[in-house]
Amino acid sequence: MATRTILRTGLRILAVCLLFAVCFTVGGVLSGLDKVAQQSIASQPDPLANQQVPPIPDNFLRSFLIFTLCVGSILSYLILRARWHGWMLVAAIFVSMYGISTVASQVDSVAFLSKKLPHGMIRAIFVQGAIAAALFAPLAVLALGKWRAASIRAPTPAVPPKLASILLRLAILVAAFVFLYMFFGYYVAWRNPELQHFYGGRNWQPSGRR
């Protein structure tokens, strides 16, 4: 019985990983992100005009597979461990997924790269993340069997946290994220000359070399 349960849960998690890959791709198509990327590549001057665009490398597919497996497994664990179910759990997964994977990661793009990225790309990224999260959240909850409450046990319903407690925790998380992001960005990522060149522009040079 335990082996069957483990096997069934593993298959459900793999299904969630596949759903994430599909939703991520559909979001990219519906948001127009793929068109923006193609237009950006086509508009760039090509010194080797006679050469064809190379196919998608194998390492990209391998990286995307690892990415989908990691994200799908982590979200499956959170969904299976959650005490919520149904639309409440769907809303929590949507807000968490969209907030972490899109909003938090694209703050840097809005603040520093709005004039460097192709026109419409940042908007397309936000739309793509919203579409992917909106499609994935209900499908994942349904695939993992968390749409309805478990009928085997009936635990005492947890007391919902107060609004002040939620806002305090949210403020702490935001402050911690900003601190860690800026700390890591300055002391680790900013040490890369290519990254400095990307953010500073073509004519940028370190202050010691001017």
* pLDDT at position 95 over 80: yes
Instruction: Return the structure tokens found at 175.
Output: 């402050």
- The yes-or-no verdict on residue 76 having pLDDT over 80 is yes
What are 20-70's pLDDT values in tens digits? 999 999 999 999 987 887 776 666 654 444 444 445 555 788 899 999 999
Percentage, residues of the chain above pLDDT 70: 80
Q: Measured between alpha carbons, how far is 206 from 72 in angstroms, rounded to an integer? A: 41
Report the predicted TM-score, pTM, of the whole model to 2 decimal places. 0.74
